[in-house]
A and B are shown apart, each in its own frame.
Chain A
Amino acid sequence: MPSLLPEEEKLWPSRLFALVYAAGAVMMAGYALWHYLMGDYGLIPLPTLLTLLLVGATLLRLSHHPQRYLSAYLVLISAYLLIAVEVAKLEGGAGLWLGLPPVLAFLVLPPASAILLNVLLGGLWLVLLVNPEQAGDLAMAYLVLTLLGALAGGEQARQRELLDATRPHDDSCDALRASAIRECLAQEFFRARRLEHRLSVLVIHLPQLDNPGDAFGGLPRRQCLQRFAEVTQHSCRAPDQLGRLSDSLFWLLLPDTGENGALMVRQRLLDALERITLPGGEGLSLRVALCAPHDDESPATFEQRLMLKANLLRESTT
Chain B
Amino acid sequence: MDSKYKARLFRTALVGGALLLAWQASLASDTPAVILLGLGALWLLATSLFQEQSLRWPPLLPWQLVPGSLLAALLWVDPGRHGAWLWLWAILVMLPQPAWLLPVQGGLAGISWWRIQQDLIPEQGVLVGLLLGAVVLLGLGRALYLRPLWQGVSRRQRLLPGTRLWTREQLVHDLYRERLRCERKDYHAELLLLRTKARHCWPLVRWLVAHLEPDENVYRLDRCTLATLLISRNADNGSQRRNLLLETPPWPLKARAIDLGSRHALSLEQRALARQAEDLVILPRPRAVDHA
A-side residues, CB < 8 A to B, are: 4, 9-10, 12-14, 16-17, 19-20, 23-24, 27, 90, 92-93, 95-100, 102-104, 106-108, 137-138, 140-145, 147-152, 154-163, 165-168, 186-188, 190-191, 194-195, 197, 237-239, 255-256
Contacts and interface: CB of A to CB of B under 8 A. Distances in A.
Contacts of B147: 9
A23 B9 CA distance: 38
What interface size band does chain B fall in? 35 or more
Interface of B: 3, 6-7, 9-10, 13-14, 16-17, 20-21, 23-24, 27, 44, 51, 55, 80-88, 90-92, 94-96, 116, 120, 124, 128, 130-131, 134-135, 137-142, 144-150, 152-153, 156-162, 176-178, 180-181, 184-185, 187, 213-215, 231-233
A107 B142 contact: yes
A197 B84 CA distance: 67
A93 B79 CA distance: 11
B84 A99 contact: yes
Contacts of B9: 154
6 contacts: A12-B144, A103-B90, A107-B142, A149-B88, A188-B215, A195-B233
Given A17-B138, A95-B80, A191-B215, A166 B157 contact: yes
Given A149-B91, A154-B10, A159-B96, A20 B161 contact: no
A163 B149 CA distance: 7
A24 B84 contact: no
B20 A93 contact: no
Contacts of A155: 10, 95-96
Contacts of B86: 96, 99
A167 B87 CA distance: 35
Contacts of B88: 99, 103, 145, 148-149
A95 B128 CA distance: 13
B148 A100 contact: no
A230 B85 CA distance: 51
A98 B153 CA distance: 35
Interface SS, B side: helix
B20 A147 contact: yes
A16 B140 contact: yes
A124 to B, nearest CB: 16
Contacts of B141: 13-14, 16-17, 20
Nearest to B234: A195
Contacts of B131: 100
Given A95-B81, A163-B149, 6 more contacts: A13-B144, A16-B140, A90-B124, A147-B17, A148-B17, A191-B213
B181 A158 contact: no
Contacts of B128: 96
A23 B150 CA distance: 29
A163 B151 CA distance: 10
Nearest to B139: A107
B187 A144 contact: no
Given A165-B162, A238-B180, A190 B153 contact: no
A144 B137 contact: no
B121 to A, nearest CB: 8
Given A155-B95, A163-B156, A13 B142 contact: yes
A197 B88 CA distance: 60
A190 B213 CA distance: 9
Contacts of A93: 83, 120, 124
Contact of A145 (B44, B85, B145, B232): B85
A194 B188 CA distance: 13
